Amino acid sequence: MHPDRLFPADPGVRGIARRLYEAVRYAPIVSPHGHVDPRMLAEDTPFPHATALFVQPDHYVTRILHSAGIGLAELGVGAPPLPGDRARHAWRLLCSHWHLFRGTPVRYWLESELADVFDVRERPSAATADALYDTIGAQLTQPSHRPRALLERFGIEFLATTDDPADALEHHAALAGLGTRVVPTFRPDRYLEPAQPGWRDAVERLGVAADADVGSYKGYVAALEARRQTFLEHGAVSADHSHADAIAEPLDDTEAERLYADALAGTLRPEGATAFRRHMMFEMARMSCDDGLVLTLHPGIRRNHHPGTLAAFGPDSGHDIPTAVEFTRALQPLLARFGTHPNLHLVLFTVDATVFSREIAPLAGFYPSVYAGVPWWFLDNPGAIRSFQESVTEIAGFTRLSGFIDDTRAFCSIPARHDMARRLDAAHLAGLVAAHRLDEEEAADTLRALVVDQPRKVFKL
Amino acid sequence: MHPDRLFPADPGVRGIARRLYEAVRYAPIVSPHGHVDPRMLAEDTPFPHATALFVQPDHYVTRILHSAGIGLAELGVGAPPLPGDRARHAWRLLCSHWHLFRGTPVRYWLESELADVFDVRERPSAATADALYDTIGAQLTQPSHRPRALLERFGIEFLATTDDPADALEHHAALAGLGTRVVPTFRPDRYLEPAQPGWRDAVERLGVAADADVGSYKGYVAALEARRQTFLEHGAVSADHSHADAIAEPLDDTEAERLYADALAGTLRPEGATAFRRHMMFEMARMSCDDGLVLTLHPGIRRNHHPGTLAAFGPDSGHDIPTAVEFTRALQPLLARFGTHPNLHLVLFTVDATVFSREIAPLAGFYPSVYAGVPWWFLDNPGAIRSFQESVTEIAGFTRLSGFIDDTRAFCSIPARHDMARRLDAAHLAGLVAAHRLDEEEAADTLRALVVDQPRKVFKL
Amino acid sequence: MHPDRLFPADPGVRGIARRLYEAVRYAPIVSPHGHVDPRMLAEDTPFPHATALFVQPDHYVTRILHSAGIGLAELGVGAPPLPGDRARHAWRLLCSHWHLFRGTPVRYWLESELADVFDVRERPSAATADALYDTIGAQLTQPSHRPRALLERFGIEFLATTDDPADALEHHAALAGLGTRVVPTFRPDRYLEPAQPGWRDAVERLGVAADADVGSYKGYVAALEARRQTFLEHGAVSADHSHADAIAEPLDDTEAERLYADALAGTLRPEGATAFRRHMMFEMARMSCDDGLVLTLHPGIRRNHHPGTLAAFGPDSGHDIPTAVEFTRALQPLLARFGTHPNLHLVLFTVDATVFSREIAPLAGFYPSVYAGVPWWFLDNPGAIRSFQESVTEIAGFTRLSGFIDDTRAFCSIPARHDMARRLDAAHLAGLVAAHRLDEEEAADTLRALVVDQPRKVFKL
């Protein structure tokens, strides 16, 4: 990996970027949102092979292979770690299709991971696949490459996982004494959508977990509040939400109770389910004001676009597709009520880049509760990040940003992703210095704030 | 301020930009749309202090301070000039939060103003706040820093204010002999929206101002026409419009009369009010064809997003938030009727950058009446301007642009804003020269046209 | 024309771009979609004058002249080649308004054409207009400048025209032995929209051409299938579609039959016509799976925005205006059924740049059938292409792109357009090399694939 990768081409600007980057290169990693499996860390079992680490859990990787006609079954998507031969075969598929990833951040992360975690500098290809597989496999059997050893080596100060409100959180409890603070995130989507299959069963499990009677709307709300408390006791700092839209619109209690009763009875119509969900988003903001959990929001995804793939491989298998998003009108009732509440931190994420300058930056540039979530998922790439930097910071400044969020399912990519973000932030700030809009000293201070202070402040660490 | 600020980093391109910029650096300022208070110029009273000049009237500044948790009351938003101690306190708040503005054009403008208007080169901070306040205060008592002296010093050739159709325009009359041509702009929004509170009273005032009987739809239209005439007699060149959408759709006379009667009677339903407003937009275009006032349009703002702030501080207090905009279908009926009318100049502004290449440039690249308004408000920053330049001029060329519009409420920022625009236009054109798409001589000619000829042509000066 | 035009300004990056470009500079041209008139090639008649070649057929040129107030009649829009004096006058109008085109790709293409095809290096202007007209005219009488000679000289390996399904295809038949493969494209829009005037007559002509009874829905479908077969026999590789939206939603047979019968009877309501059209889009995808024709889609255009111009000059006269586009929900039913079908190649084009990263890249980055169409029409310019490159390839890689599509009506602009695309692709890849994201060797391989392999693969050549 070239030491100047991702820096601007102009030698003068590159020099500034290099200096800025060096000062934060080894700063601790704060990761307030992602999808690392807490059980993996709690049990600290060695990873079985390169495929279980780099291919199977990472829909960033498998969706691109699928687009080239490779079946997800061959790649072990949605399955437990593949047995030996099939794992090696899947790895060969990745390596022999390496050219598919040219120009994508996935390739950039994978190369960084191979180099930094496994000291592998050869390019993956059909010819090198087996040797790489064996090299990585050998290292994975060593204590140095077990999950907790990597967690420490990566310099991760804080790591939030994403968890079901009914989860027992026993893995987080087991991780309590670790050097890295590993905490759960309250992700209640399924409990707020009566139209989803399995809602009633889920709510019953929630009642059991909370030891509450969910037979009434009041009991259901109490159960959610109780589980949030349990999450808080386990160190949780945020609640995370993703629905079809961002609308948060309160109903009066009688109406909410009526819709809840209909939902339990199985007689709630789709419009009612939508109204109930939007009411509950408003309620979640109210709860955040009460208990202090940061509220993160990332609407506008058509989940499981391809039914055949969902049926065979389950959700999160690479075919969630973005749609247009709207925040200005959707959040108006919520912000009218809670927008200046000192306890509310509302972080807005999007995979629709059009709302960066149109809605997110203007909202974050007025409401003290609103923060602009950095580009993630489809937008976690140099081009989109540059466009985010050039639009959001011009309107809202640097102090209204969330700080970098890796949102990863690929454990080993965490340092590579944060490193990429630091390089791109250094590059952007170097551009402002070169254009004589900031002193280099200010740029250095801003970069440090983005990397360390801002996520700590926004996520109340 | 560095002489090369905002220029491209590459030394070769920077050299071209510098040469291009130097040729227009001191060109006169044409400001066809903004929010300078004509009374301030007519009375030529000294500004009381730095806070009244830089903080209180400028929602660009106060919204960012508010986003950091500073109350708008402390900043004197929506209030008359603050008394001494409170004014000094507000100024200290600005200076001690200077880092909030890093990377924003607001900081760029403020620094330019401090340097160019007050010869202040120290960076504002908690430590320097008092000294700066006193330095500026001392200068404000001098004749050199009274409003008209600054107006002359700024080299403003033409300045349009924004005014209520019922305004007596006595300040503009008083300014008639000035070196700078200061003219009113006809801004009839409130008179076209029967659903807005106070519409009926406003219409009555309009009738009084126009000496017309607004008891009938015909009288109401006649009153609007008469006031436009009065504005024209006071030098007005344009009528400015901002509604929730850009739809202009004519009704037949009977229907318009019926809706107007219902509106006066207080029985008009919301759909009717919307239909009436859209009809009136069509009428405004018709009037523009008749009397020649340029029609400027900037739809798609959710005004007064936070009701608590509206109640306490009034409108224009920093929480107008953009929404998605649509022009192609919305303006089709208007352009079908008037799009090739020689008298119509229709300037389309937006704070939704997605319509630049999708709708505005294609419309301006066909209809001789349509001009692409430059980025303003949230989009008046280097990143958005670059994106505008790269998208609109590729589709419609440079001759379909409005020329720069400062839209400012901050009097002293006018030269800084125009200077920023000239630098960015020079930078963009230098890029075209470096890519061998234009000769440097053509680029120089184009820049001169953008700065001087284009606004004169578009606004019929 | 400068040899380094369109390359990045930084000397290091420019050097890389130059090397990359040189390797594909003379690669054959593959043009899978455009609007060249097959009759022109079949008859190989000399072009009468510069105006018939550069002005009359090219709405890219005439719309910009129109926006400056020049009447389309003077330019010969929608008319046969203008007679001598009027042709010279139209040419003078173009030359004396040359400055209107500054900064647009139209100017870039025109200058390239003048230099490369006519060895003209003087800038068009009022002063040079007549001399240029005569120089070009003299060359047009030579065998070297007849259509087929130019086709060969341009190095066009494959050229698809755009044709009516009822077309007899006699010109394509006559071109069968040519060095360049010239094939038709199946463009059935008008047959799928019962709400369009003339639909019934068109369907009858279709029946005649297919020798099928279109009195029933089944016969109508069979006629479409039969004509597709005929097109395939004439070498067609794709079917091209452009409707107001991209929705493809199947009806059951009974409902489709009912709507079809109502359409024939003239009693179909607008909602029914829309439902029928959306059903037929689904059917077209089904047929593509059956017969292998590539399906290209470019929705979201408000055709013929200005009725007066339509009445006087016909369609395609420069006032088709883009609107917002949606693919994610619109194509979900189609992709649920056919998205992984090995025969389906679905190329998504847009003139709404917001869907590049939001919808097209995520779809193409999962579905093996979906390809991201490169920017065209309003977006076929350096700024939009850069934005496409920076957004789509980061998400879907380079292997999911369509390869360059010129979509031209201006025959002589084909090599200039492809050359521009090659330069911009080289520039983009050079940037990736400079940022150490690709080796130069990989970049060279990628560029070759984009120029030659990718269009061959996507369009099944």
Asked, for residue A372, whether it belongs to a domain, the answer is yes
Asked, for residue C244, whether it belongs to a domain, the answer is yes
Condensed to tens digits (0 to 9), the pLDDT of residues C38-72 reads 999 999 999 999 999 999 999 999 999 999 999 99
Of B145, B164, B183, which residue constitutes the final position of a domain?
Answer: B145
Is A5 near chain C, with CB under 8 Å?
Answer: yes
Tokens of C186: 């199946």
Tokens of B120: 């202040």
Check which CATH number belongs to the domain holding C151 and give it: 3.20.20.140
Is B386 near chain A, with CB under 8 Å?
Answer: yes
Check which CATH number belongs to the domain holding A54 and give it: 1.10.2020.10
Give the C-alpha distances (Å, rounded to integers) separating A398 from A361, B347, B425.
11, 33, 25
A vs B, Cβ pairs < 8 A, gives 136
How close, in Å, is residue A443 to chain B by CA atoms?
A: 9
pLDDT score, position C188: 98
Average pLDDT over residues A395-402: 98
**pTM given for the model:** 0.98
Spatial distance between the Cα atoms of C280 and C192, rounded to a whole number of angstroms? 6
Task: Specify whether B298 is located in the same domain as B443.
Answer: yes
Task: Specify whether B59 is located in the same domain as B110.
Answer: yes
Average pLDDT over residues A115-141: 97
Task: Specify whether C88 is located in the same domain as C169.
Answer: no
DSSP string, B417-457: HHHHHHHHHHHHHHHHHHTTSS-HHHHHHHHHIIIIIHHHH
Spatial distance between the Cα atoms of C299 and C194, rounded to a whole number of angstroms? 17
Asked, for residue C4, whether it belongs to a domain, the answer is no
Condensed to tens digits (0 to 9), the pLDDT of residues C177-202 reads 888 999 999 999 999 999 999 999 99
- CB-based contact C297:C349 (threshold 8 Å): yes
B129-140 vs B84-96: helix axis angle to the nearest 10? Answer: 130
Of A96, A127, A145, which residue constitutes the final position of a domain?
Answer: A145
Q: Which of A332, A368, A446 sits opposite B305 (nearest CB)?
A: A332
Tokens of B278: 């859209």
What do you get for the CA distance between the two ends of chain B, in Å?
Answer: 33
Q: Which residues of B touch C351 (CB under 8 A)?
A: 358
Average pLDDT over residues A130-149: 98
- CB-based contact B285:B344 (threshold 8 Å): yes
Spatial distance between the Cα atoms of B455 and B443, rounded to a whole number of angstroms? 18
pLDDT score, position A368: 98
A413-434 vs A11-24: helix axis angle to the nearest 10? Answer: 130
Cβ <8 Å between A394 and B5 = no
pLDDT score, position A444: 98
Task: Specify whether C137 is located in the same domain as C256.
Answer: no
Q: In the beta sheet, which residues pair with residue A240?
A: A296
Task: Specify whether C350 is located in the same domain as C389.
Answer: yes
The residue to which tokens 């108006």 are assigned: A332
Domain that holds residue B83: 46-145
Give me the interface pTM, i.e. the ipTM: 0.97
Is A92 near chain C, with CB under 8 Å?
Answer: no
How many domains does chain A fold into? 2
Spatial distance between the Cα atoms of C319 and C308, rounded to a whole number of angstroms? 11
Spatial distance between the Cα atoms of B284 and B290, rounded to a whole number of angstroms? 10
Report angle CA A227, A229, A235 to the nearest 5 degrees. 110
pLDDT score, position C265: 97
pLDDT score, position A232: 98
Candidates C394, C425, C433: best to mutate against A (most CBs of A within 10 A) is C394
Within 106-145 of B, beta carbons closer than 8 Å to A belong to 107-108
Task: Specify whether C446 is located in the same domain as C402.
Answer: yes
Task: Specify whether C327 is located in the same domain as C440.
Answer: yes
Tokens of B95: 């200076």
pLDDT score, position A133: 98
- CB-based contact A330:A245 (threshold 8 Å): yes
Condensed to tens digits (0 to 9), the pLDDT of residues A193-251 reads 999 999 999 999 999 999 999 999 999 999 999 999 999 999 999 999 999 999 999 99
Asked, for residue B454, whether it belongs to a domain, the answer is yes
Task: Specify whether C245 is located in the same domain as C329.
Answer: yes
How close, in Å, is residue B446 to chain C by CA atoms?
A: 8
Task: Specify whether B140 is located in the same domain as B154.
Answer: no
What do you get for the CA distance between the two ends of chain A, in Å?
Answer: 33
Question: What whole-number percentage of chain A has pLDDT above 70?
Answer: 100
Asked, for residue B33, whether it belongs to a domain, the answer is no
| Amino acid code (one letter) for C115 | A
Cβ <8 Å between B366 and C102 = no
Give the C-alpha distances (Å, rounded to integers) separating C201 from A340, A356, C196, C207.
64, 49, 11, 10
CA B300 to chain CA centroid, nearest Å: 15
pLDDT score, position A177: 85
Asked, for residue C130, whether it belongs to a domain, the answer is yes
Pairs from C442-446 (Cβ < 8 Å, separation ≥ 24):
C442/A99, C442/A102, C443/C16, C443/C20, C444/C19, C444/C20, C444/C23, C445/A99, C446/A99, C446/A102, C446/A103, C446/C398
Of B112, B145, B178, which residue constitutes the final position of a domain?
Answer: B145
Which residues, 6 or more positions from A233, have their beta carbon under 8 angstroms from its beta carbon?
Answer: none
Task: Specify whether A70 is located in the same domain as A55.
Answer: yes
Spatial distance between the Cα atoms of C84 and C99, rounded to a whole number of angstroms? 25
- CB-based contact C390:C358 (threshold 8 Å): no
Q: Which of B63, B68, B318 sits opposite A399 (nearest CB)?
A: B68
**What is the number of other CB atoms lying within 10 angstroms of the CB of residue A300?**
23
Within 300-339 of A, beta carbons closer than 8 Å to B belong to 324, 326, 328-329, 332, 335-336, 339
Low-confidence ranges of chain C (pLDDT < 50): none
Candidates A110, A305, A419: best to mutate against C (most CBs of C within 10 A) is A305
Within 364-383 of B, beta carbons closer than 8 Å to A belong to 378-379, 381-383
pLDDT score, position A109: 97
Cβ <8 Å between C397 and A104 = yes
Asked, for residue C22, whether it belongs to a domain, the answer is no
Half-sphere exposure of B70 (CA within 13 A, CB side): 24
Longest Cα–Cα distance in chain C: 68
pLDDT score, position C177: 85
Task: Specify whether B62 is located in the same domain as B197.
Answer: no
Low-confidence ranges of chain B (pLDDT < 50): none
Neighbours of chain C (3+ CB pairs under 8 A): A, B
Tokens of A72: 């997800």
Condensed to tens digits (0 to 9), the pLDDT of residues A415-461 reads 999 999 999 999 999 999 999 999 999 999 999 999 999 999 999 99
Cβ <8 Å between B100 and A397 = yes
Q: Which residues of C touch B10 (CB under 8 A)?
A: 9-10
Asked, for residue B26, whether it belongs to a domain, the answer is no
pLDDT score, position B177: 85
Is B399 near chain C, with CB under 8 Å?
Answer: yes
Tokens of A12: 């003068």
| Average confidence score pLDDT of chain A | 97
Condensed to tens digits (0 to 9), the pLDDT of residues A357-390 reads 999 999 999 999 999 999 999 999 999 999 999 9
Task: Specify whether C266 is located in the same domain as C246.
Answer: yes
Give the C-alpha distances (Å, rounded to integers) separating B78 from B242, B306, B316.
21, 15, 8
Within 190-229 of C, beta carbons closer than 8 Å to B belong to none
